[in-house]
Amino acid sequence: MKTKNQLALAPWVFTIGFFLLWEIVCRVLKVSSFILPAPSTILLAVWEYRTQLAYHAMHTLWMTLAGFGLAVGFGLLLGMVLGSSRLINAGSYPLLVGFNSIPKVAVVPILVFWFGVGWVPPVLTAFLISFFPIVVNVATGISTVEPEMEDVLRALGASKRDIVLKVGVPRAMPYFFGSLKVAITLAYVGSVIGEQNASNVGIGNLLTRASAAFEVPLVWAALVVLAVLGVVMYVITAYVERSMTGWAQRSQMAA
């Protein structure tokens, strides 16, 4: 019981401790707020710019969720295809890995050529950056179905499609939900990169403008807002994961 309480408190203690330490360092060493503002300064900035921050944050949230949604749909489909066909898997892997290795910030200009400045580049950047882990995980889950299980079903006359749908996909769900936690944070990175380079709204755009104007506290305030949103989205996906795949989390390690 004692360790359980400690575990529940630990994230709060560590987070608050981190910011306290930061505050103390800034005050004791008298760091200029232009280099590193103290948390108190940042918090004041958040309050001062709250309407502006909220407006842009909502926009970023939308971009992220739209890109993430696309990535989930596309990732599931492509993962199912790759997981059920060794030929397509082997053939397309170099392409996928190569594509994933391209820094997505380099792709944004191309998206601007195609779609102009607006909401499309951030959504697509979020999508492009976050679909890969979903594909890989879903494909792994499906391609590792036990051979005995496959034999049982094939001896009954099951088609490849039957086996993928009845065994492969449910089996891949823990992998899928695990990958969502990675994908949602990546999607955030993607939409902010997109907004920084090709949008007139959103936290990314706010960051670009604030740093151009040397409004250092606003830059930090925007970063804090991003971090908080990221944590919230992560927690939501982790919660969904736990409620959807309880059967997979019966090990002592997960308890």
Partner 1 sequence: MKPFVDIHDVTHVYARAEDGLPAVRNLTLKVNEGEFAAIVGPSGCGKSTLMKLATGLQFPREGTVIVDGRQVGAPVKLAGMAFQNPTMLPWRTTLDNILLPLEIVEPHRARLRRHKAEYVAKAESLLEQVGLKGQGRKYPWQLSGGMQQRASLCRALIHEPKLLMLDEPFGALDSFTREELWCVMRDLHAAQKVTIILVTHDLREAAFLSDRIFCMSARPGRIVAEREVEFPRPRDLEITYTPEFSALVHELRGHIAQARKAA
Q: Smallest distance from the beta carbon of 151 to partner 1, in angstroms?
A: 6
Q: Smallest distance from the beta carbon of 142 to partner 1, in angstroms?
A: 14
> Quick check: 148 binds partner 1 (CB under 8 A)?
yes
Q: Which of 162, 182, 211, 229 binds partner 1 (CB under 8 A)?
A: 162
Residue with tokens 């999508």: 127
Q: Name the one range near partner 1 by CB under 8 A: 66-74, 156-164, 183-191, 229-237.
A: 156-164
Binding mask 46-75 for partner 1 (x = CB under 8 A): ------------------------------
> The tokens of 53 are what?
């921050």
Q: Smallest distance from the beta carbon of 243 to partner 1, in angstroms?
A: 13
Q: Smallest distance from the beta carbon of 176 to partner 1, in angstroms?
A: 13
Q: Which of 90, 116, 146, 232 binds partner 1 (CB under 8 A)?
A: 146
Angle at the Cα of 146 (from 144 to 147), degrees rounded to 5? 110
Angle at the Cα of 112 (from 230 to 128), degrees rounded to 5? 45
> Quick check: 149 binds partner 1 (CB under 8 A)?
yes
Give the chain's largest Cα–Cα span: 75
> Quick check: 90 binds partner 1 (CB under 8 A)?
no
Q: How far apart are CA 226 and CA 61, in angstroms?
A: 9
Q: How far apart are CA 95 and CA 235, in angstroms?
A: 32
Q: How far apart are CA 90 and CA 87, in angstroms?
A: 5
Q: Which of 28, 106, 156, 255 binds partner 1 (CB under 8 A)?
A: 156
Q: Smallest distance from the beta carbon of 170 to partner 1, in angstroms?
A: 5
Q: Smallest distance from the beta carbon of 159 to partner 1, in angstroms?
A: 9
Residue with tokens 């990314």: 204
CA 146 → CA 15, 75, 134, 142, 150, distances in Å?
43, 23, 21, 10, 6
Q: How far apart are CA 170 and CA 175, in angstroms?
A: 10
Q: How far apart are CA 136 and CA 58, in angstroms?
A: 30
Q: Name the one range near partner 1 by CB under 8 A: 34-42, 105-113, 177-185, 246-254.
A: 246-254
Binding mask 165-194 for partner 1 (x = CB under 8 A): -xx--xx-x---------------------
Interface with partner 1 (CB under 8 A):
146, 148-149, 151-158, 162, 166-167, 170-171, 173, 245, 247-248, 250
